[in-house]
Amino acid sequence: MQLGTRWATGSEPPASVPAALRPAIAEVESRGLTGHWTLTWLEGRAIAELDAGWEVVQTGSGDVIARPFED
């Protein structure tokens, strides 16, 4: 896993956040969730985790999924 970056909800995601993830991140934030996002990379795919219990992941096929975080 490669560590990425961290930012607060409601602020502009850093440039390192892939464009494909941005709409799903905005959708999660529209639910009123607050906290901080952490961007990491696993096997070359971006994962944005919100410490309020959500993640936005890009699958191997390129689909983007927003879902409650699985421990």
Predicted confidence band of residue 44 (pLDDT cuts 50, 70, 90): confident
For 4-30, what is each residue's pLDDT tens digit?
A: 799 999 999 999 999 999 999 999 999
* CA–CA gap between residue 19 and residue 56 (Å, rounded): 12
* CA–CA gap between residue 31 and residue 41 (Å, rounded): 25
3-state secondary structure of 41: strand
User: How open is the CA angle 9-4-21, to the nearest 5 degrees?
Assistant: 55
